[in-house]
A and B are shown apart, each in its own frame.
Chain A
Amino acid sequence: MSAAHHEDDHEPHDGPKVLTETTSAGGKKIRTVQVVRPEPHDASFLEAGAKGLGITLKHFARNLFLPLRKASARAKAGAPVDEKWKNEIETVQYPEEKVTYPERFRGLHRLMLRDDGAVRCVACMCCPTVCPAHCITIIPAETDNKGIEKKPAVFEIDELRCVVCGLCVEACPCDAIRMDTGEHARPTEERADGIETLETMLARGIRSTAKQGGEGPNWRERATGTPDGEVNR
């Protein structure tokens, strides 16, 4: 089989090796080609089959018996388990074990708080405007604080409709809405349960360290020397 392949290597195109090429009376091309058939030992699949069985057997034995050895070794000494005794099972047993999401994972929304515990959102309507899925509903209300003017009376996000693009967080001028909870939308039995309300999102919120009204025009100079990530937290 390999010999036949080597002969094919310097052919201009892939395909069977052409032995003779003639033209029939009718003007049609007639070609005789060399057909490559597998050698008997390849055709019986014995060699390859045995090799494959060896691989699967190795994995099976390793995954079946090594957890036992690992457990007994752990119980004995509490010593670190040697890397070669680890089994190779990749399964994460989901509700009990969880994979930690990457730091910038966009999860469930939350609403941030002011220093006095009130909602930071000023109902400026930037996020429902930019939202491509139209999943944010805000009904504004007046506040007693004349410097703020508005607050959301109703703030609802339909998580079943949300496309988790993060544009609402980008659009927010006052660090009121964030998607950094690290949780994903929970499965629900009713569609209505998939809607996050002002209360549920505030419950996840923390006090923002962003300064009310911003740092002023020359914030860059004043932030110099601050460790990364501390400016806006």
Chain B
Amino acid sequence: MTASLSSSLAAALPDWVPSGWAILDFPATKWAILILLLVMPLASLLTWAERRQSAMMQDRLGPNRANIGPIKLKGILHFVADALKMIFKEDFVPANVHKGLFALAPILALAPVLIAFAIIPFGPTIFPHEFTKVLDPVELASNPAAPQFADSIRLQIFRADWGLIFYFAVLTLANYGGTIAGWASYNKWALLGGLRSSSQMMSYEVAMGLSLMTPFLIAGSLEPGYIVEHGANPELSPAHPLNWLWAGGSVWLVAPALFSLLLFFTAGIAETKRAPFDIPEGEPEIIGYFVEYSGIRWGMFFLAEFIEIVFISAVIATVFFGGYHVPFLEANGFRVPGLMIPGLESPTGYWHLPMPHGLVVGLQIMAFGAKVVILCWFQLMIRWTLPRFRADQLMNLGWKLLLPLSLLTIMVTALLKLIMMM
């Protein structure tokens, strides 16, 4: 069936589009699958989860009424109602706005976040011919060109040694979305909001980039896929939780690794422009850059914000929490060192539970999703707990606290690495 489908597709598509199994390894296919199956549903659900969660934190119930007939799903359908409302609402464009830039700004806010997802490895490499069999890692390492490993699908869209730099380069463009929206709106308050947005994003991107230098020093790569596949310590398996970067791979590196995680998380929340860092928007009183937007154009800013939450969570899960790895789940099943169960002891000192490749892949993708969801949940917790900073407090925190601390963390990590190498 696949063959007939791909042959009919091949007739319709240009030459550079691959056919057969390779179409699944094609970046556009992977990007569409990732965005449509993971990112968009999660971001839409977050709009509901945020309201329900904040309600639960404040001893309320939150939205639980939207329904299609008897189907209520605890109010999850509210995001469908919201989307329909925003699409069919009047798209009001005020007089005197710069029409072109006004239309461009929401796209500039949304597109970079979607592009930046290209660097995230959201699952292991899939070998379709081995799907029901237990994978042999030794065979894979020694003979990767063997026929059973053909047509492999790498669940990372864009792989480059400068992966995390690419993320900073692309996400900085989202900055223009807010600033241009403020400028094009022909509204002084919107313009001020846009300026606040750009000053905040620029201040925190410094601390953000520098706090990611610590994982770089520990893992030795800026490529998220490499960090996930190797972890901090080459002697341990990447599935070992102590090998993930929050633990630093060594007793000495735990403190700097955890500290850079804290710094990156703080700067990441500032980057998403949400409370306690929602100075650019400040919807209730100080009025943000999208004050003149309505309908689905406003919805795009809103969605971009939620996708940024998912993205920051995905980056933290990838860099600090082992990405798609389930603790002790290797490519061929669970392998727990030191766990001796009578009757299941293996001569190598490992407890081993073999599992088919398909099951391992499924578990690992689900683990990545679970990590992202938990980190999103934690971001929402912070957003509904802490009050908004004042603009000067924000700048003080960014430049006087986060920046020196991230520089200090880099120096300490570098020194520790040097001592460990000697």
Contact = CB atoms under 8 A, between A and B. Distances in A.
> Do the two shown chains form a genuine complex with each other?
yes
Interface of A: 40, 43-45, 49, 52-53, 55-57, 59-60, 63-64, 88-91, 93
B224 to A, nearest CB: 28
B61 A89 contact: yes
A85 to B, nearest CB: 15
Contacts of B385: 49, 52-53, 55-56
A93 B61 CA distance: 9
A18 to B, nearest CB: 24
Contact of B58 (A57, A59, A64): A59
Nearest to B401: A44
Given A44-B401, A57-B381, A60-B53, A88 B59 contact: yes
B192 to A, nearest CB: 25
Interface in B190-237: none
Contact of A59 (B59, B396, B397, B401): B59
A89 B397 contact: no
Contacts of A88: 59
A45 B59 CA distance: 25
B390 to A, nearest CB: 12
Interface residues of B, number: 17
B395 to A, nearest CB: 12
Contacts of A57: 381
B57 A56 contact: yes
A55 B382 CA distance: 11
B56 A64 contact: yes
Nearest to B65: A93
Contacts of A40: 401
14 contacts: A49-B385, A52-B385, A52-B386, A53-B381, A55-B385, A56-B57, A56-B381, A56-B384, A59-B57, A89-B56, A89-B60, A90-B59, A90-B60, A91-B55
A49 to B, nearest CB: 6
A60 B57 contact: yes
B59 A63 contact: yes
Given A52-B385, A52-B386, A53-B381, A44 B57 contact: no
Contacts, number: 46
Main SS at interface, chain A: helix
Contacts of B381: 53, 56-57, 60
Contacts of A45: 386, 397
A43 B57 contact: no
A63 B60 CA distance: 9
B155 to A, nearest CB: 32
Contacts of B59: 59, 63, 88-90
A56 B58 CA distance: 8
B60 A91 contact: yes
Interface in B27-82: 53, 55-61
Interface string B366-405: 0000000000000001101110000001001100010000
B382 A53 contact: yes
A89 B53 CA distance: 12
Contacts of B57: 56, 59-60, 63
B61 A91 contact: yes
A55 B381 CA distance: 11
Contact of A43 (B60, B61, B384, B396): B396
A204 to B, nearest CB: 30
Contacts of A89: 56, 59-61
Contacts of B56: 59-60, 63-64, 89
A44 B401 CA distance: 8
A57 B397 CA distance: 25
| Complex A-B, nearest 7 residue pairs according to Cβ-Cβ distance, in ascending order | A91-B61, A63-B56, A56-B57, A88-B59, A56-B385, A60-B57, A52-B385
A53 B386 CA distance: 8
Contacts of B58: 59
Contacts of B384: 56
